[in-house]
């Protein structure tokens, strides 16, 4: 039997394994994961929300990867969470791949119910958005929910084990060679095929391995911005049409691409702690709704020479805001930002929005975000106000920094095979996806590439 070794037990790795063991009789699959099995992982979001020193590795590592403690919102659209049409011979096949991974999630316990926007309401919203110069992207979504995500992944892990997949846990792959891997245990593992799916936590490591093997990588854009928090009533009419509404905007002054991302209706703003900077994000707890809604609004930045490294640029902004906030995110009322003054707790208390994240410093975001990004974000919020009245109110809270990095994109063919024969990549770490569904689909694409080579497809 030939050996397929998968590096990373995140969604991409698990779905790649599932595809291979469901279709092949001659391939043996091993997953190497540096974290724990899904059932053993501890870092419940409840404490994550409160926790200021929770290292991102607890959230990002272990079977299920970064998806395990997420709200598990499946965006069932080939253009959301990466451009999946790139890996499909035609758009219809991309939709089929999405249906395929969605079915596996449901078979593992994801709720049957999907949030499918009502066509009439979508049409009305599209018209309203278009008249404000904004594009609304209608998508069908399935919400696994934070409370359920762990059970769904644990079910998939159990099924894979029953089908003979071997998991080597608490073990890091140190080095990738042609035909073999060096593990943190000191052992060398040979492979006939390998899929590297280390996620964002392993993106730098993956880029180093690619460079060593002379496989090209290139920087992808970084999305830099803020998290906006408003009373849930303001977002209610839009969230009734789509749970996580996505708007795409081109701004007047700089013609920058700005988008809304990760709407948490009745959710909480959370803090993320990295080695040398902090960030903000959001989540919802279905059983404990907050009175607010939060979402990110992000400006897409692409860089050319002499600085192509979008991660370094994003990091430098995040570090600057971390310094200004005394090690905490900065929160500011939109009214104060417009008036060019810092927010204070007493000004925030006088406003209509009570922050759901208290471990923050009221301050002035314009001290930390570059003029271009700040201008684009304020313009984006003001344009959105025409579609969602109330968004641009003086009381609206803005938290910074929220930065979405993309991993360096590994050069592959459309089956996700690198120029090293038998060496494939998948998921967010290789810059080929940016979400749970995208990661799962790219895992399946890489697995099918291997099956094809073996004549099993």
Ligand X SMILES: Cc1cc2nc3c(=O)[nH]c(=O)nc-3n(C[C@H](O)[C@H](O)[C@H](O)COP(=O)(O)OP(=O)(O)OC[C@H]3O[C@@H](n4cnc5c(N)ncnc54)[C@H](O)[C@@H]3O)c2cc1C
- Which residues of this chain interact with ligand X, rule CB under 6 A? 7-13, 32-35, 59-62, 65-67, 70-73, 75, 81, 172-173, 197-202, 205, 281, 427-429, 434-437, 439
CB of 62 to ligand X, least distance (A): 5
CB of 241 to ligand X, least distance (A): 19
By beta-carbon proximity to ligand X, the closer residue of 227 and 333 is 227
CB of 60 to ligand X, least distance (A): 5
By beta-carbon proximity to ligand X, the closer residue of 117 and 198 is 198
CB of 341 to ligand X, least distance (A): 32
By beta-carbon proximity to ligand X, the closer residue of 206 and 451 is 206
CB of 405 to ligand X, least distance (A): 11
Enclosing H/E stretch for 231: strand 222-231
Q: Tell me if 389 sits within 8 A of 422, measured CB to CB.
A: no
CB of 245 to ligand X, least distance (A): 14
By beta-carbon proximity to ligand X, the closer residue of 210 and 337 is 210
By beta-carbon proximity to ligand X, the closer residue of 202 and 355 is 202
CB of 368 to ligand X, least distance (A): 22
By beta-carbon proximity to ligand X, the closer residue of 280 and 397 is 280
By beta-carbon proximity to ligand X, the closer residue of 60 and 94 is 60
């Amino acid at each position: 039997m030939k050996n397929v070794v998968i590096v990373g037990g995140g969604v991409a790795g698990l779905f790649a394994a599932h595809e291979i063991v469901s279709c092949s009789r001659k391939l043996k699959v091993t997953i190497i994961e540096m974290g724990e099995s899904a059932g053993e992982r501890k870092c419940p979001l409840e404490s994550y929300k409160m926790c200021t020193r929770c290292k991102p590795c607890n959230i990002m590592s272990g079977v299920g990867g970064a998806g395990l403690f997420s709200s598990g919102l499946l965006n069932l659209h080939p253009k959301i969470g990466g451009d999946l049409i790139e890996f499909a011979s035609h758009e219809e096949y991309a939709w089929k791949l999405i249906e395929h991974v969605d079915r596996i999630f449901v078979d593992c316990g994801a709720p049957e119910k999907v949030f499918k926007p009502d066509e009439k309401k979508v049409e009305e919203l599209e018209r309203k958005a278009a008249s404000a110069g904004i594009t609304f992207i209608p998508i069908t979504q399935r919400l696994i929910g934070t409370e359920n995500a762990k059970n769904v992944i644990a079910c998939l892990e159990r099924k894979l084990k029953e089908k003979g997949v071997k998991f080597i846990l608490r073990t890091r792959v140190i080095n990738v060679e042609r035909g073999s891997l060096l593990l943190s245990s000191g052992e060398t593992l040979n492979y006939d095929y390998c899929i590297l799916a280390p996620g964002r936590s392993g993106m730098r490591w993956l880029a180093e391995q690619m460079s060593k093997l002379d496989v090209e990588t290139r920087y992808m854009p970084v999305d830099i911005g803020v998290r906006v928090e408003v009373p849930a009533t303001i977002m209610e009419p839009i969230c009734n049409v789509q749970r996580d509404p996505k708007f795409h905007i081109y701004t007047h002054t700089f013609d920058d691409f700005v988008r809304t991302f990760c709407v948490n209706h009745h959710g909480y703003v959370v803090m993320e702690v990295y080695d040398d900077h902090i960030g903000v994000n959001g989540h919802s707890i279905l059983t404990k709704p907050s009175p607010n809604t939060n979402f990110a609004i992000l400006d897409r930045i692409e860089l050319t020479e002499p600085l192509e490294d979008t991660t370094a640029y994003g990091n430098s902004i995040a570090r600057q805001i971390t310094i200004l906030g005394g090690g905490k995110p900065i929160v500011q009322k939109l009214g104060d930002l417009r008036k060019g003054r810092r927010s204070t707790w007493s000004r925030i208390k006088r406003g209509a929005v009570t922050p759901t994240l208290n471990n923050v410093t009221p301050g002035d975001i314009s001290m930390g975000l570059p003029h271009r990004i700040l201008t684009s974000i304020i313009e984006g919020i003001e344009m959105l106000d025409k579609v969602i009245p109330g968004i641009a109110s003086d009381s609206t809270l803005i938290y910074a920094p929220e930065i979405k990095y993309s991993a360096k994109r590994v050069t592959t063919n459309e089956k996700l095979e690198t120029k090293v024969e038998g060496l494939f990549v998948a998921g967010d770490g290789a810059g080929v996806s940016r979400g749970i569904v995208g990661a799962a689909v790219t895992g399946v694409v890489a697995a099918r590439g291997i099956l094809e080579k073996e004549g099993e497809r």
